[in-house]
């Protein structure tokens, strides 16, 4: 199965979102990753529904919304209306993950669950078959440009095995510190969606970086 590159708009130039989204539209990236942070679940605040709506209206790629927010159940339908194709919530942000997954699916969006670096993959064992995507955080969420946590590779392998054992077909997305220096190992471990913020937008030639990430086996 070939992999998907999901550049993260968090690392784009917010004064030129129009230009940067156009660049992604013209690239070989299939998804655009959109990080929503509330200053409570994570220490940083990014942007909310209105900005996601503006981004999605311009973006021709799959809009992959990563909600790093408390009480995500209050906002799921608003982000779907804003244009999200995939909505990912954190397992740590709700007591009722199963209900929340179905709330996302009921909107028509694909449902993803993200796990912080300290959260074991076994914590989602009983909802694995219900998921379209599992996002393993390879940094502590809140900021772009952080260093990849290498223990994530073992988590990817464990998750991949769990999916095979249970006939699950969720995508495995890796988020944080992903770039040309480690993408091969991440893919080899079993991931198939690579979020890439700084490594794409801060590179000299973002289109070429996307192609290089795509070309990895």
- Could you tell me the smallest distance in angstroms from the CB atom of residue 169 to ligand DX5? 23
Q: Of the ranges 18-26, 69-77, 154-162, 169-177, which one interacts with ligand DX5 (CB under 6 A)?
A: 169-177
Q: What x/- string results for residues 72 through 91 when contact with ligand DX5 is judged by CB under 6 A?
A: --------------------
Q: What x/- string results for residues 176 through 205 when contact with ligand DX5 is judged by CB under 6 A?
A: xxx----------------xxxxx------
For residues 159-168, b (16+ Cβ closer than 10 Å) or e, as one string? bbebbeeeeb
- Could you tell me the smallest distance in angstroms from the CB atom of residue 195 to Zn ion? 6
One residue of 61, 66, 80, 90 binding Zn ion per CB under 5 A: 66
Q: Of the ranges 84-92, 117-125, 175-183, 207-215, which one interacts with ligand DX5 (CB under 6 A)?
A: 175-183
**Residue 175 interacting with Zn ion (CB under 5 A):** yes
97 vs 178, beta carbon nearer Zn ion: 178
Given the rule CB under 6 A, which residues bind ligand DX5?
8, 10-11, 33, 35, 66, 139, 141-146, 175-178, 195-199
- Site residues (vs Zn ion, CB under 5 A): 35, 66, 175
């Amino acid at each position: 199965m070939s992999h998907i590159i999901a550049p993260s708009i968090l690392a784009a130039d917010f004064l030129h979102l129009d230009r940067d989204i156009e660049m992604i539209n013209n690239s070989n990236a299939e998804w655009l990753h959109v990080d929503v942070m509330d200053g409570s679940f994570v220490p940083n605040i990014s942007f909310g529904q209105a900005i996601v709506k503006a981004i999605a209206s311009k973006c021709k790629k799959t809009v992959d919304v990563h909600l790093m927010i408390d009480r995500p159940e209050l906002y799921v339908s608003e982000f779907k209306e804003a244009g999200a194709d995939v909505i990912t919530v954190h397992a740590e942000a709700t007591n009722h993950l199963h209900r929340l997954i179905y709330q996302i699916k009921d909107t028509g969006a694909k449902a993803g669950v993200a796990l912080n670096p300290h959260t074991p993959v076994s914590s989602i064992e009983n909802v694995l078959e219900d998921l379209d995507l599992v996002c393993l955080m390879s940094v502590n969420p809140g900021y772009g440009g952080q260093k990849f946590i290498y223990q994530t590779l073992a988590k990817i392998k464990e998750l991949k095995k769990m999916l095979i054992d249970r006939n699950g077909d969720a995508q495995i997305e890796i988020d944080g510190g992903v770039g040309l220096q480690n993408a091969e190992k991440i893919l080899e471990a079993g991931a198939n969606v690579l979020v890439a913020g700084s490594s794409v937008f801060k590179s000299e030639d973002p289109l070429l970086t996307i192609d290089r990430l795509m070309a990895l086996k």
